[in-house]
């Protein structure tokens, strides 16, 4: 009886399986890089933009809408002072968000931004944002948190309204991330 050697086939299959698992683990960081480069999925930069102002485009006005909500697991009250703002591309603007911790303990929150339409995310430049840092509030404490931004004049002409939405999450029990802890 003639036996077939399956060793080379098994090694190739094992290599394919290892590569598939490696690719699956690399998908999330690759997706984040892709979103950051293309501005898709509404992800904004997680670092401040430069404060240098672009030339203001007086011929154009963009409506910027602001949404704020706390996650269902986050008991804080979180809202923006401004719901809608008309801005000229290149014009530096500032709006404030208010947060209040009604609990009887110190908590830490993190705001996660999202921009719609997703392609506009690359053109919304945040110079200063509370979302760059974790926010700690003592029991009963409230805080006014600024957002300083401008819209890049290179924003495509077909975009007239940008919606910036913040979701606030309770991260009290999570360990500090080195990158976030080092940012001021």
| pLDDT per position as a tens digit, 155-171 | 999 999 999 999 999 99
- What is the distance between the alpha carbons of residues 63 and 163, in angstroms, rounded to a whole number? 8
- What is the distance between the alpha carbons of residues 100 and 6, in angstroms, rounded to a whole number? 66
Radius of gyration of the chain (CA): 22
Q: Is the pLDDT of residue 84 over 50?
A: yes
What pLDDT is stored for residue 6 in this prediction? 83
The pLDDT confidence band at residue 179, using thresholds 50, 70 and 90, is very low
| Averaged pLDDT of the chain | 84
Give the percent of the chain with pLDDT over 90.
Answer: 60
Taking CA atoms, 85 is separated from 66, 159, 172, in Å, by 8, 15, 32
> In sequence order, what are the residues at sequence separation of 6 or more whose Cβ sits closer than 8 angstroms to the Cβ of residue 70?
76, 77, 78, 109, 167, 168
The pLDDT confidence band at residue 49, using thresholds 50, 70 and 90, is low
């Amino acid at each position: 009886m003639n036996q077939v050697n399956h060793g080379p086939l098994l090694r190739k299959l094992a290599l394919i399986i290892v590569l598939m698992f490696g690719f699956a683990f690399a998908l999330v960081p690759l997706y984040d890089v892709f979103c950051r480069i293309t501005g898709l999925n509404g992800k904004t930069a997680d670092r401040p933009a430069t404060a240098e102002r672009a030339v203001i485009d007086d011929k154009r006005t963009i409506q910027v809408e602001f949404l704020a909500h706390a996650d269902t697991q986050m008991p804080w009250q979180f809202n923006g002072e401004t719901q809608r703002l008309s801005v000229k591309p290149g014009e530096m603007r500032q709006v404030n968000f208010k947060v209040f911790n009604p609990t009887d303990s110190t908590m830490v929150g993190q705001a996660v931004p999202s921009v719609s339409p997703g392609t506009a995310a690359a053109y919304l430049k945040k110079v200063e944002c509370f979302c760059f840092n974790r926010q700690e509030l003592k029991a009963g404490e409230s805080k006014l948190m600024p957002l300083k931004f401008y819209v890049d004049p290179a924003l495509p002409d077909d975009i007239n309204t940008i919606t910036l939405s913040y979701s606030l999450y309770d991260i009290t029990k999570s360990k500090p991330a080195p990158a976030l802890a080092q940012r001021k």
